[in-house]
Amino acid sequence: MKRFEGKTILVTGGAGDIGLATAKSFASEGAKIALVDIKGLDGAVAQLQSFGTKVMGFGCDVTSYESVDKTVTEIVEEFGSIDLLFNNAGIQGEFEMLHRYPVEDFHRVIEVNLIGAFHVLRAVSAHMVKQGGGVIVNTASMAGVDGPVNMAAYGASKFAMIGLTQTAAKDLAPFGIRVNSISPGFMGPGFMWDRQVDLQASVGSQYYDSDRSVVVKQMIGAVPLRRYGLIEEIPPTVMYLMSDDSSYITGVNIKLSGGI
């Protein structure tokens, strides 16, 4: 099934696990892929070329609107359009109790996760308005649904992302642009899961043990399905939200949380 044949998707955070897994799923259904990341993209692009669709990588710092606007213009010139946007770039930030949370890190997380996401959303939606429509999915988080412990910056940025999604959905609806978000919970395996376990163990709060093996059990124990989600379980929901199967859905945040 080639639901996205002839369409171009822009994926930010394209060098990361979620971005690359999602790009692979879209490429498998015929989409042309524009990967965007501040990190090197050669390896990710090489993995996607086996799908036989057009793939290009673009280096971009999403915290700079000038860089984002320039990159979006380049993508439109290379691909002819941006039909779909997976607005996915983000960082976890530090793990610490609020009264000790590093001020500089709070600013940095907000700058990347919220301001950077706004930059991409604004630049791409301006193009979509001109072309007559499009579909956008923002990556939020369960941390933006129920305030996470020891993650003040990340939680605040993701709460704001859900609110930005709802406003964008209303503002862009008159132009035929749908905007939704996804909120993954505990996802793994890999760097982000391991980092979260290790840093929660190091904080020394009442919520998690100092032994990482116990922290793993505490996290999994909070999930009704009693497991973390797999990275590969994220792309199908993104694809549903970007497909015609969800043509009457906008302004919605879908939780991928195992029941949390």
Residue 208 appears among annotated catalytic residues: no
Distance from chain centroid for Cα 130: 24
DSSP string of 106-135, one letter each residue: HHHHHIIIIIIHHHHHHHHHHHHHHHT-EE
Distance from chain centroid for Cα 180: 11
Tell me which residue has tokens 């904080």. Answer: 203
- Measured distance CA(63)–CA(65) in Å, rounded: 6
Asked if 59 and 37 count as a contact pair (C-beta separation under 8 A), the reply is yes
Please classify residue 34 by burial: count the beta carbons closer than 10 Å to its beta carbon, then call 0-12 exposed, 13-18 middle and 19+ buried.
buried
Q: Tell me the CA distances in angstroms from 104 to 65, 98, 115, 116, one per residue in order.
A: 20, 13, 15, 16
- Measured distance CA(197)–CA(59) in Å, rounded: 30
Task: Out of 154, 207, 208, 240, pick the active-site residue.
Answer: 154
From start to end of 93-252, where are the E strands? Answer: 134-139, 177-184, 187-188, 229-230
- Measured distance CA(191)–CA(58) in Å, rounded: 23
Alpha-carbon torsion (235, 240, 244, 248), positive or negative: negative
The residues annotated as belonging to the active site are 154
